[in-house]
Amino acid sequence: MLQTFGFIVILPILSIAVLLTLFRLIKGPTLPDRVVALDLMTTLGIGVIAAYAIVYHEPIFLDVALIVALVSFLGTIAFAYYVEKGTK
């Protein structure tokens, strides 16, 4: 029941959210706007992976969610470091 519900309702909602964020990633006037949009896209991607693990009954995908969270944190920190360094 949760699996069909997730396939019909939850995954489309999350896809729409990722597409809206992609619009901000393309439009964003400055570089930090784009970095924030990219960070939000990876956070939404963690949610998509968790919902996918529920829908297809594959609990091994939660490991992927953990690793994606780690890598996206490092990526955002690196972007912030170089954006701040570029102003000196």
Binding site for other proteins (CB under 8 A): 1-2, 5-6, 9-10, 13-14, 16-18, 20-21, 23-24, 30-33, 35-37, 39-40, 43-44, 46-47, 50-51, 53-54, 59, 62-63, 65-66, 69-70, 73, 76-77, 79-81, 83-84, 86-88
Output the smallest distance, CB 18 to other proteins, in A.
Answer: 7
Q: Say if residues 41 and 19 touch (Cβ distance below 8 Å).
A: no
B/e letters for 44-66, b = 16+ CB within 10 Å, e = fewer, are: bbbebbbbbbbbeeeeeeeebbe
In the bound complex, what is the minimum distance in angstroms from residue 76's beta carbon to other proteins? 4
Which pair of structure tokens corresponds to residue 83?
A: 């954006």
The answer to whether 37 and 85 are in contact (CB under 8 A) is no
CB of 38: closest distance to other proteins in angstroms?
10
